A and B are shown apart, each in its own frame.
Chain A
Amino acid sequence: MDEIKISAQDVNVFYGETHALQDVNVKIRDNTVTAFIGPSGCGKSTFLRCINRMNDTIEICRVKGDILIDAEDIYDRQVDPVQLRAKVGMVFQKPNPFPKSIYDNVAYGPRIHGLARNKPELDEIVEKSLRRAALWDEAKDRLGQPGTGLSGGQQQRLCIARAVATAPEVLLMDEPCSALDPIATAQIEELIDELRQNYCVVIVTHSMQQAARVSQHTAFFHLGHLVEYGETGQIFTNPQDKRTESYITGRIG
């Protein structure tokens, strides 16, 4: 049905001497929510950060293997990570809005990438991004107020709006709800489901229920290996691997 957006081939990641991720092969579909689950330290966040090359900022980190987005190797020498990150947006575990106004938070990406030629265009991008992040109704009257003054759930939606504003094709989310209360979590999950229509969404989560609720495909990582990858329903009801079964039944992890 949907075409392959991201394709990883024999990805190995090392932190100094530590072999954090071993021979990961995975094909992630477009317009799909793909969840990475697994116990702490299994390498799921590491793999997520490989997809927009955020691992480049960690000095001791080395990545081997190929990751292709739309059949282009993002680790090719000609690829500028800055350009890549505009195409692959990221939302972090802890809401981290800039200590600036809500408007400036969203407008920052479009500004540095030159996506708007004038103020009305920028206003439009900001409004569209905030609408997409389901924050417009709450924020439209207080665009000039600092983004850090919002509640946790609103801050996380602001971060999603900020990521969406650079018109990315892929959205990476690293445990986006782990710092939020259940109500805010439910709002974000609903939002993730809507975002699927326009983006390829990859989400790392600790909560298996969340993975089951929001994703269509699930990848289970364990000790640096990609153990199993398939449709979410199949992973949760009929796991092929013993380790996956142990994890989702709560015996390990």
Chain B
Amino acid sequence: MTDIALGRALRLKTSLLDQSSRTRKRNFAEKRFELYGMAAVAFGLLALVVLLTTILGNGLSSFRQTFVTLQIELPQAKLDKSGTGDLEAIKKVSTFGYAPLIDTALEQTMAQLGITIDGLSAKQAAGIISKEAPAKLRDAVIANPALIGTVHEFRLLANGRIDGYYKGAVTMVSATRDANVSPELLILADALKAAGLLATSLNPGFITDSDASDQRPEAAGLGVAILGSLYMMMIVLVLALPIGVAASIYLEEFAPKNRWTDVIEVNISNLAAVPSIVFGILGLAIFINFAGLPQSAPIVGGLVLTLMTLPTIIIATRASLKSVPPSIRDAALGVGASKMQAVFHHVLPLAAPGILTGTIIGLAQALGETAPLLLIGMVAFVKEFPGAPPEGFFDPASALPVQIFNWTQRADPAFVERASGAIIVLLVFLIAMNTVAVLLRRRFERRW
């Protein structure tokens, strides 16, 4: 009786039009929480923007390179002494045989244009051309021996410092303190540019060429690294997808739920959290030291990354198998399908988008992994392209993230630009893979 009277008395006093202090407090707490969330998102976005602007700002220029165009005479007397056009004889002439040709051509060009710069000898002037240029010239001649005995126009890489001058990294002031370049050389470059013989243009070599040594950043490319990464992804896909999916189907649909499967389940989850460098040590011990597979080879990298990716794929696959409603299994079993038929005809198709997404996310993770590859020797300087698969899997190769790591270690500042460019390439691959994952999920997702 008193309770009811009390309740009525309270109710009479309150009005809906003015908020009680409790309500105000609660509303304020809600607003505050919303702000926290927005601040967190804003912080994340800001970090992303800073990251992207830094990388794009530093790296985009690596896709363009400064080239010098020269008319080079290729005398038969020097390049093919026998005069027979025999390829083996031509190959005997090393890059040292080609370097003077370039020097001469540069000297003649300067003379023709009437460029004379005080304090710059002909030998010093040759420093404007990359040290890689003679090798490129030799490759061109070997690829087309008919060039011998003619005068032909070649586009040669400019020295990294000259390139840096046009990208803003090198100035006249810094050149005075630089052993690799001098202000006079920069003046020569400007003169050549004015004559239209020196220009900065798109450099496909950054994607297709192999790595270059410390002294010639201008020639360094990602070809071997991209190929190595591609080979490893092929190995990971071929091994991890079937093994992971088979293991998940067994664990989720067939295995009895007992202590053993519990232990396995916990350990798979733990495996996903193991630091990647531990997998590298495992790979070194088992695949290289015990099984005797070659160092620096994509096959070993692929196997290590497979081990790393397996838990990710298994967890994703099991989650998507779990999300298939049990009523579908009941329905299939109810019409007399065997357990395997129920799984393969009904459960697996419904789980496929989730499995594919998980696999691609796992692959993307593996693509960006560096630490385990360092331990199995993929950090080595590799100049030769690996062969075609499957033999190529056993040839030394590099990998994209390791190449980035490698370039950031180099002394020459021009490699900073290279490393940023390589990050852009890696990011493009990752974004492409994630897009494919999203598209696949959209395409195959089915409602029930």
Contacts and interface: CB of A to CB of B under 8 A. Distances in A.
Interface of A: 52, 54, 57, 59, 82-86, 89-92, 94, 96-99, 108-109, 112-113, 148, 159, 162-163, 165-166
Contact of A54 (B325, B330, B345, B350): B330
B330 A163 contact: no
B332 to A, nearest CB: 7
Nearest to A94: B327
List the 5 shortest-distance A-B pairs measured between CB atoms, nearest first. Answer: A86-B336, A96-B327, A109-B335, A90-B334, A85-B336
Contacts of B350: 99
Nearest to B258: A59
B330 A59 contact: no
A82 B447 contact: no
A189 to B, nearest CB: 21
Contacts of B338: 82
A199 B447 CA distance: 33
Interface string B330-343: 11111111100100
Contact of B337 (A89, A92, A112): A112
B387 interface: no
B257, B337, B346 interface centre (most CB from chain A within 10 Å): B337
B333 A54 contact: yes
Contacts of B204: none
Contact of B333 (A83, A85, A148, A159): A85
B22 interface: no
A109 to B, nearest CB: 4
Most central of A85, A96, A162 by chain B CB within 10 Å = A96
Contacts of B99: none
B334 A85 contact: yes
| B interface, over-half SS | helix
Contacts of A159: 331
15 contacts: A52-B334, A57-B330, A82-B336, A85-B333, A85-B334, A90-B334, A92-B330, A96-B328, A99-B446, A108-B332, A109-B336, A112-B335, A112-B341, A159-B331, A162-B335
A40 to B, nearest CB: 19
Contacts of A82: 336-338
Given A148-B447, A148-B448, A98 B332 contact: yes
Given A85-B334, A90-B334, 5 more contacts: A90-B330, A96-B331, A109-B336, A159-B331, A166-B335
A164 to B, nearest CB: 10
User: In this complex, which of B327, B328, B336, B447 has the most chain A Cβ atoms within 10 angstroms of its Cβ?
Assistant: B336
Contacts of A98: 328, 331-332, 346
Interface of B: 256-257, 325, 327-338, 341, 345-346, 350, 446-448
Contact of A112 (B329, B330, B336, B448): B336
Contacts of A89: 334-335
Contacts of A113: 336
Given A98-B346, A99-B448, A86 B330 contact: no
B257 to A, nearest CB: 6
Contacts of A96: 325, 327-328, 330-331
Given A54-B330, A108-B345, A148-B447, A59 B335 contact: no
Looking at chain A's contact residues, the main secondary structure is helix
Contacts of B257: 59
A54 B334 contact: yes
Contacts of A54: 330, 333-334
Contact of B335 (A57, A83, A85, A94): A85
B339 to A, nearest CB: 8
B327 A163 contact: no
A211 to B, nearest CB: 22
Contacts of B345: 108, 112
A86 B447 contact: no
A98 B346 CA distance: 7
B334 A99 contact: no
B331 A92 contact: yes
B117 to A, nearest CB: 77
A130 to B, nearest CB: 15
Given A96-B327, A99-B350, A148-B447, A86 B256 contact: no
A241 to B, nearest CB: 33
A166 B336 contact: yes
Contact of B336 (A83, A91, A97, A148): A83
A163 B328 contact: no
A97 B331 contact: yes
A90 B334 CA distance: 6
A199 to B, nearest CB: 15
Contacts of A148: 447-448
A168 to B, nearest CB: 9
A91 B350 CA distance: 21
Nearest to B446: A99
Contacts of B327: 92, 94, 96
B333 A57 contact: yes
A148 B327 CA distance: 13
A69 to B, nearest CB: 14
B343 to A, nearest CB: 12
Contact of B256 (A59, A84, A90, A112): A59
Contacts of B341: 112
Nearest to A159: B331
Of A85, A92, A162, most buried by chain B (CB within 10 Å of CB) is: A85
Contacts of B334: 52, 54, 85, 89-92, 163
Contact of A163 (B332, B335, B346): B335
Nearest to B341: A112
Nearest to A95: B327
B273 to A, nearest CB: 29
A165 B335 CA distance: 9
A172 to B, nearest CB: 9
B67 to A, nearest CB: 58
Contacts of A108: 332, 335, 337, 345
Nearest to B448: A99
A57 B345 CA distance: 18
B257, B335, B350: which has the most chain A beta carbons within 10 Å?
A: B335
Contacts of B325: 96
Nearest to A148: B448
A54 B329 CA distance: 11
Contacts of B332: 98, 108
A109 B341 CA distance: 11
